[in-house]
Amino acid sequence: MNVSAIRSGAVTQAGHQKPYIVIDGVDKTYAVDGNPITALEGINIDIAPGEFISVVGPSGCGKSTLLKCVAGLQGITGGSIAIQDKKVTAPPDNMAIVFQRDVLLDWRTVLDNVLILVEFRGLRRQDYEQRALELLKKYGLDGYAHRFPWELSGGMRQRVAICRALIVNPELLLMDEPFGALDAMTRDDLNAELERLWFETRKTVIFITHGIDEAVYLADRVVVMARNPGRIAEIVPIDIPRPRPLSIRQTEEFGKYVHHIRHIFASMGVAKAD
């Protein structure tokens, strides 16, 4: 891994494709008790079509705020965000979100939870039921369509949430620490499933995480954020061939990327250097 190359290419888009998402000089300021608090400052990222971007950083650095701004769920106070040359002012139709909490409705069956986005968008439920069943089968939930969320484990619930996000086949998938509350083995399993999903569909993905290993394993580039105010410290391209088995995490090449990102955090005083 050439660290100098990583630094010199820190804020460029992957490859030479026209960007799918352009985040240009984005600032976000909140008013707290009448005082301005800067959550994001000068965020610049071009994201290529079909690129997988991981965003990692300490608590309070604005990772989730950035995701919500891209999703059109929060307004920005400076700069601009555009998806396919269209300025983001509201949630785009071609987007789906997976949150850390699965946000399933316990009084609806698994199948009904997967189809809720179809209902919200005023689409014909019967046109999507077969796709919903196929997604459930693909994600290890065959035979659970008529169960209720309270009958499922945490990992199974999060699989339902992913199926719900994929039901309308979005081009853009935003994921806000979707595996953060899961045990290590389930998290690894879902990491592998997500890597396979991306490899098969090449959706554009922005993935928020606290886990450096997770960020490196999944991403084409890792955006490393600093806090006070939230800003980009460095963008690290991950030059590891796909598909990626979980065993890739045991290699020296993978370890160099993890070590490099840990060193960035150590230089910011938020982690100890090795």
Q: Which CATH number covers residue 90? A: 3.40.50.300
Q: Nearest Cα to 55, choosing from 199, 221, 201? A: 221
Q: Report residue 271: phi and psi, to 5°.
A: -160, 160
SS3 26: strand
Note the pLDDT tens digit of each residue in 198-242. Answer: 999 999 999 999 999 999 999 999 999 999 899 999 999 999 999
What is the predicted pLDDT for the residue at 6? 37
**Whether residue 255 sits in one domain with residue 212:** yes
**Whether residue 196 sits in one domain with residue 221:** yes
CA distance 131 to 11: 38
CA distance 197 to 205: 11
- Locate the DSSP E strands across 106-238: 172-176, 204-209, 221-226, 231-237
For the chain, counts of helices (H) and of strands (E): 9, 10
Q: What is the mean pLDDT of residues 150-175?
A: 94
Q: Is residue 100 one of the residues assigned to a domain?
A: no
**Whether residue 81 sits in one domain with residue 142:** no
Confidence bin at 1 (pLDDT 50/70/90): very low
CA distance 67 to 53: 11
Q: Nearest Cα to 20, choosing from 50, 42, 43? A: 50
Residue 13, pLDDT > 80, answer: no
**Whether residue 187 sits in one domain with residue 252:** yes
Confidence bin at 10 (pLDDT 50/70/90): very low
CA distance 170 to 180: 23
**Whether residue 119 sits in one domain with residue 60:** no
Q: Is residue 211 one of the residues assigned to a domain?
A: yes
Decide if 257 contacts 1 (C-beta within 8 A).
yes
Decide if 258 contacts 216 (C-beta within 8 A).
yes
What is the predicted pLDDT for the residue at 165? 94
**Whether residue 176 sits in one domain with residue 53:** yes
Q: Is residue 273 one of the residues assigned to a domain?
A: no
Residue 55, pLDDT > 90, answer: yes
Full strand arrangement of the beta sheet holding 231-237: 95-98, 172-176, 204-209, 52-56, 221-226, 231-237
Q: Is residue 99 one of the residues assigned to a domain?
A: no
Final residue of a domain: which of 130, 151, 170?
170
Q: What one-letter code names the amino acid at 1? A: M
What is the predicted pLDDT for the residue at 170? 95
**Whether residue 68 sits in one domain with residue 190:** yes
CA distance 177 to 101: 9
Final residue of a domain: which of 170, 193, 218?
170
Q: Is residue 149 one of the residues assigned to a domain?
A: yes
Q: Mean pLDDT across the chain, nearest whole number?
A: 90
Q: Is residue 147 one of the residues assigned to a domain?
A: yes
Host domain of residue 110? 105-170
The tokens for 87 are: 């300025």
Note the pLDDT tens digit of each residue in 231-249. Answer: 999 999 999 999 999 999 9
What is the predicted pLDDT for the residue at 223? 98
CA distance 70 to 76: 9
Structural domains counted in the chain: 2
Q: Is residue 224 one of the residues assigned to a domain?
A: yes
**Whether residue 257 sits in one domain with residue 177:** yes
Location of structure tokens 């014909």 = 124
**Whether residue 231 sits in one domain with residue 151:** no
Sign of the alpha-carbon dihedral angle for 165, 194, 65, 95:
negative
**Whether residue 233 sits in one domain with residue 110:** no
Q: What one-letter code names the amino acid at 217? A: Y
What is the predicted pLDDT for the residue at 271? 64
Least confident interval from 15-19, 69-73, 181-185? 15-19
CA distance 257 to 265: 13
Q: What is the mean pLDDT of residues 57-81?
A: 95
What is the predicted pLDDT for the residue at 69? 97
Least confident interval from 14-28, 98-112, 144-158, 238-252? 14-28
Percent of residues, the chain, with pLDDT higher than 90: 79
The half-sphere exposure of 195 on its side-chain side, counting CA atoms within 13 A, is 21
Final residue of a domain: which of 128, 143, 170?
170
**Whether residue 228 sits in one domain with residue 184:** yes
Respond yes or no on whether the N-terminal peptide bond of residue 149 is cis (omega within 30° of 0): no
Q: Is residue 274 one of the residues assigned to a domain?
A: no
**Whether residue 191 sits in one domain with residue 78:** yes
